[in-house]
Structure 1
């Protein structure tokens, strides 16, 4: 279960107050939380910070950037856990599709992107994650795009153009420098 914290109650957990500029769009820190990630059941709560562009809200965003700190290393292990979760999801979600990307001989900086759908079939989400070591943790930088209802078709058709550009931007970006990780006991 997630424990959300209002930004008026707590400062950012990772020393990354934002904004984070991704593909030319500034994303402001919108919310922070500690939560369990269902796709890595063996880890406890992890700090998560979500950044949204101006005009986006948590309930219906179409763009977001987030940072998560995972107590699982190396990044290759995180990639394998995410792949297992997507394989399991494909049994109930026929749209699931994913690909891992990394440079030959480098297991310490890995990207994976994937497409999933809402069970209703009226919402789709494309996500790219980049995992890099941070001290004894793995920093997970995430960019997601969503489409709902009538916009879903054009969203899916546009992925052939937007997906490669977003993956390249994530892989090439100078990652926001995490300066601390607030433990859950302080939340």
Structure 2
């Protein structure tokens, strides 16, 4: 499985949050995905059902799970939901700031990188809306993400949507962002999050 096609957002966000949690890299998953947070799915979002496809618990305070529509594959998905919990006491600002720092560093090698930060002061939430890319020609990937960081008593929950365009369709995907991006962000911001309960 190509690392480029695996998951750009998983690599960057997991590296950032695992570093904050003080642990080593996430271990590779063997067998079916295991639900670690009481959310086995499917999750209904924006008119589609998303099923648990991958999970990792690199340390006792950090869980990451990814969900895909039926028929899609992790290595070449069109849409993905990402749900995470970080129970190390980290704040929403620190978690979002870590990902922003990662994106700023990525700009040196990825001219597509761009982001904006949307804050909901009343709920103490942040949505990080960003786009990045990898590869060239037929191997090009354009990935758009909206990460919603919400506070929890012992840290932060993340609920996110990730969408991609590939190869010859990458440019069309990037242009098309203008027509559906903000509607998807609004859906994400208004989504009623379930209670997440990381296993003890």
TM-score range, shorter chain: 0.7 to 0.9
Structure 2 stretches of 5 or more lacking a match?
1-24
Alpha-carbon RMSD across the aligned residues, in angstroms, is 2.0
Name the residue aligned to 1:169. Answer: 187
Larger RCO of the pair (alpha carbons < 8 Å, separation 6+): 1
Partners of 1:84 and 1:72 lie apart in 2 by: 19
Q: CA deviation at 1:32?
A: 1.2
User: Cα 1:143–1:62, aligned 2, differ >3 Å: closer, same or farther?
Assistant: same
Q: CA deviation at 1:15?
A: 0.2
Name the residue aligned to 2:19. Answer: none
User: Cα 1:141–1:5, aligned 2, differ >3 Å: closer, same or farther?
Assistant: farther
- Counterparts of 1:155-166 in structure 2, within 5 Å, are 155-166=173-184
Name the residue aligned to 1:69. Answer: 85
Q: CA deviation at 1:169?
A: 0.5
Name the residue aligned to 1:41. Answer: none
Name the residue aligned to 1:2. Answer: 26
Q: CA deviation at 1:63?
A: 0.5
Are residue 56 (structure 1) and residue 72 (structure 2) matched? Answer: yes
Name the residue aligned to 2:158. Answer: 140
Partners of 1:151 and 1:35 lie apart in 2 by: 34
Q: Is the 8 A contact 2:62 2:85 kept in 1?
A: yes
Number of residue pairs the alignment of both structures matches: 172
Q: Is the 8 A contact 1:34 1:47 kept in 2?
A: yes
Q: Secondary structure at the match of 1:140?
A: strand
Q: CA deviation at 1:62?
A: 1.0
User: Cα 1:146–1:45, aligned 2, differ >3 Å: closer, same or farther?
Assistant: farther
Please point out which of 54, 62, 81 is paired with 2:98.
81
Partners of 2:199 and 2:136 lie apart in 1 by: 37
Larger relative helix fraction: 2
Name the residue aligned to 1:40. Answer: none
- Counterparts of 1:1-187 in structure 2, within 5 Å, are 1-3=25-27, 4-7=29-32, 11-35=34-58, 46-70=62-86, 71=88, 73-103=90-120, 105-106=121-122, 108-120=124-136, 122-178=140-196, 180-182=197-199
Q: CA deviation at 1:72?
A: 5.2
After TM superposition, which residue ranges in structure 1, 4 or more long, deviate above 4 angstroms?
Answer: none
Partners of 2:123 and 2:105 lie apart in 1 by: 24
